[in-house]
Amino acid sequence: MLPDLDALEASLLNTSGNVKLDARFRTLFTLKGLASLSEDRMERVIEIISKGFGDDSALLKHEMAYVLGQLKDTRALPCLTKILSDEEEHAMVRHEAAEAMGAISSPEALPVLNKYLHDPDVSVRETCHLAINKIELDNSDMGKKEQEIKELRDKAHGDAIDAAARAAAPIDPAPAIVRVPNAQDEQNVYTLENVPLFRDTLMNTSLSLFDRYRAMFALRNTVQQGGKDAETPAVLALADALCDESALFRHEICFVFGELCHPASVPAMTRVLNDSQEHEMVRHEAAEALGGVLEEADDDAAQTQAVETLKRWAEDQQAPRVVRESCVVALDEMAYNNDPTQFQPMDSVAA
């Protein structure tokens, strides 16, 4: 039996006033899963999420904007446009709205994205640049050819389980590099030998942010598809770029680490979270990534240390709210997922 949408709306919007933040996050992603089941559900889910932007948690609103983009439905564009256009809204939420427009990838979003290319906040400007480039590439002949190459490789190298995982994978703010010199269209390029090439592109500040993002996701794919020997070198190549001057760029690397849940990223994520001078957007992603890695970790000492780090910042009232809340959510999610008595709503939806 599927969860009731009215009950999920009450949970997400916290109409009772006593729904914990981590439970609201789970509700949000339950709604995301339900949206794909029918057009009517998609419309209703977009309506429910759109009501949530009056909340005072920038972290939750950021996550809601992210989910609206992942739904890849143009009916979410009016809400996202309103968020991006609200210059009083938290920059992290506005950035996520712009990124969500890029995920939906409709040319009708281009006018508002172009308008905010000169926004006072650098993260908003940079995200609009990325979204515009993604939309233009996705809708071009080159972009369609690259998608064909990706699908050809997926078919040649994947299986049914991989196909299901790819279908559920997040929509990236820039597509991964698919072409390297001398590679055939059906050939997997996400290999150990191409890590230096991708790293050079990642670190090359003379290139556009969009091109460097493409290298970032190529390294992410290398961790996932390049075999055991390629995993740690690709993770460390990503960590090298955490010195970049763009907070948006650094935050995306932390997001990728959260996707990968690879133990080699733990030292870097711990350093980022412990750096009180780091941008709150970057530290928030580091906290969430650290929580994700910990759920996969089998090193008790490393897990204990990381939990202590998350607890430290969850309780530090001097830390930015989005950082504290990210640590709280990471810790609560770990406790929830490790509790065998808890029912996972999305299990029934995905089955």
Output 344 or 263, whichever has higher pLDDT: 263
Q: What is the pLDDT of residues 277-317, one digit of tens each?
A: 999 999 999 999 998 887 776 767 767 888 899 999 999 99
280 is in an annotated binding site: no
State mean pLDDT over 175-191: 92
- Say yes or no to pLDDT of 341 above 70: no
Confidence of residue 348 (pLDDT cuts 50, 70, 90): very low
Write out the DSSP string of 287-344.
Answer: HHHHHHHHHH---HHHHHHHHHHHHHHHS-TTS-HHHHHHHHHHHHHHHHHT-TT---
118 is in an annotated binding site: no
62 is in an annotated binding site: yes
Q: What's CA 147's distance to the chain center, in Å?
A: 20
96 is in an annotated binding site: yes
- One-letter amino acid at 117 equals L
Write out the DSSP string of 123-159.
Answer: HHHHHHHHHHHHHHHHTSHHHHHHHHHHHHHHHHH--
- Say yes or no to pLDDT of 349 above 50: no
Counting Cβ atoms within 10 Å, is residue 120 exposed (0-12), middle (13-18) or buried (19+)?
exposed
DSSP state of 344: -
285 is in an annotated binding site: yes
Give residue 163's pLDDT.
60
Closest CA to 232 of 215, 213, 219: 219
252 is in an annotated binding site: yes
315 is in an annotated binding site: no
Counting Cβ atoms within 10 Å, is residue 213 exposed (0-12), middle (13-18) or buried (19+)?
buried
Cβ neighbours of residue 296 closer than 8 Å, sequence gap 6 or more: 261, 263
Closest CA to 279 of 251, 243, 242: 251
If you average pLDDT over every residue of the chain, what do you get? 92
Which CATH number is associated with domain 1-139? Answer: 1.25.10.10
Q: Are 79 and 53 in contact (CB under 8 A)?
A: yes
State mean pLDDT over 169-194: 93
Number of Cβ within 10 Å of residue 5's Cβ equals: 18
Q: Looking at 1-5, 81-85, 174-178, 257-261, which range is the least confident one? A: 1-5
- Say yes or no to pLDDT of 134 above 90: yes
